[in-house]
Amino acid sequence: MIRKIESIDQFNRFFGQQTYHPQVSVCNLADADPSLFEPTDFGMYCVVVMDADFGELRLRDSCMRYQAGTAFTMKPGHVMSMTLDPNARPKGWMLAFRPDLIINTGLGRDFYMFNFFDYEVFEALKLYEGERRIMSNCFNTILTELRAPDDEFTGHMLRLGIGQLLSYCRRFYDRQFDTKKVRASELVRQMDSMLDSYLADGSELPRRFGPPHVAWCSGQFHLSANYFGDVVKHELGITAKEYIRNKILEKAKSLLADPQLSINVVASRLGFNYPNHFTRFFKNSAGISPSEFRKSL
């Protein structure tokens, strides 16, 4: 049975602490009731930093055991549970904030930068010691604001503190891309090889799955689409979608150069079910229609 937490007040009861604000809470995992780790949809955005290895986490149907200094995130609809290690005590920080905190705010408008809430369990953030201290300071800043007397600036200050913590997460993920993932030249080589094979003459993949897309490419790297997209953008300076689009366009031009192939056949070979979809893609990408391109040759 999956439990759903409906409010910050209910959330705080698992930590035996009072509610300072109806939309935000910061908690010490050492104070958590063990039942908190049963299957739960927190119904909120959460950032967790584990300062100890105290069990196996199950989140979004994936399992992982994290070492101390690991950060992971959840969002409404994600179900989390944990098999606690009887020989270890939970230790770390947990921030929870309700989605309505950021509606029609600057933080809400910038939230597109924080797509790590959709990363997979195995793509968690591994913090260096200095980064752990920074994250700890961010949690303390938010907690200090929560315990301060409420006034007209409280909501604004809380959003600033949360925005700072999430921005550090984004920065540290970019550092992780630098230290963990393949360099740009190797990434290009692997992507080119995959896409060339996908679009090769005689390949069944376009017919079965349509034109190549980000989700397929990310699956070849065993990464989530968001994490893969962020790696590509970080390394190559363009989005994964743009890179794939350029490869499809390059192959389309090569096929159109063969006068024996009709535009309908070219569209079919690239995985487009309808020729007009291919024509629209080509015109949006190249600025001219396939027939105009063919005439220009």
Domains, the chain, ranges and CATH? 3-180 (2.60.120.280), 184-296 (1.10.10.60)
Flag the least confident range among 21-35, 90-104, 183-197, 270-284.
183-197
Most confident of 23-27, 183-187, 289-293: 23-27
Flag whether pLDDT at 63 surpasses 60.
yes
pLDDT in tens, 167-213: 999 999 988 877 655 555 677 788 888 898 999 888 889 988 899 99
pLDDT given for residue 226 in this prediction: 86
Does the global pTM surpass 0.85?
no
Label residue 250 by pLDDT band (50, 70, 90): very high
Instruction: Kindly write down the DSSP assignment for every residue of 7-32, as one continuous string.
Output: -HHHHHHTTT---S-SSEEEEEGGG-
Helix (H, G, I), strand (E, B) or coil at 293: helix
Pairwise CA distance, residues 18 & 13, whole Å: 8
* Percent of the chain at pLDDT exceeding 90: 71
The amino acid at 119: Y
Q: Where are the beta strands (DSSP E) in 40-148?
A: 40-41, 45-50, 55-59, 62-65, 70-74, 79-84, 92-97, 125-126
Q: What is the pLDDT of residues 113-137, one digit of tens each?
A: 999 998 988 889 999 999 999 999 9
Q: Would you say the C-alpha torsion 169, 174, 179, 182 has a positive or negative sign?
A: positive
Cβ neighbour number for residue 149 with a 10 Å cutoff: 5
pLDDT at position 185:
65
* Exposure string over 38-66, b if 16+ CB within 10 A, otherwise e: eebbbbbbbbbbbbbebbebbbeeeeeeb
